[in-house]
Amino acid sequence: MKKLLFILLVVASQSVMAFSDRPTADLVLVKKAERKMFLIKNDTVFREYNISLGKQPVGHKQKRGDNRTPEGLYTLDFRNRQSKFHLSLHIDYPNQQDRLKAQQLGVDPGGDIFIHGLPNGKNMPLVYEGVDWTRGCIAVNNPQIREIAQYVSDGTPIRIAP
């Protein structure tokens, strides 16, 4: 019995150490042209994901409904618990520069840009793989968004490059 208890304590302590050793990203980098997202800690990439973008992926988002993914420096500022998608991390688009540009153009800059998984209730991940299908969000598969949510805290900067 003592031996079993000892084994359980060792396994439990290793699980706690593994959890506490998990890196927390200090930057999320998206390269739209490559359809890649990188989680970075201390200038070192520790995770890489294939992504899907808005239906019109080339160019910076300028107005509501243009189906483009924004480009620039933003912050992942909260998690949407009521999302239509499997987990979602909010990107604080539009920033001040985006609002000013939209005002100059006389348009609504839009918003509701997230990193998220697949639509809730849709169990066909292969339909979405390798396709730009969002309205401007950054999408990954459901296991990936669960992993990303563990490595990224609210307040983490995200740089979205063309």
**Nearest of 78, 22, 53, 8 to residue 161 by alpha carbon:** 53
The one catalytic residue among 60, 86, 90, 137 = 137
- One of 60, 86, 90, 116 is an active-site residue; which one? 116
Residue 90 among the catalytic residues? no
Query: If DSSP codes are grouped into helix, strand and coil, which group holds residue 99?
Result: helix
In the residue annotation, 116 being an active-site residue is answered as yes
How far is 20 from 26, CA to CA, in rounded Å? 16
State the Cα–Cα distance between residues 3 and 52, nearest whole angstrom: 50
Residues that are catalytic? 116, 137
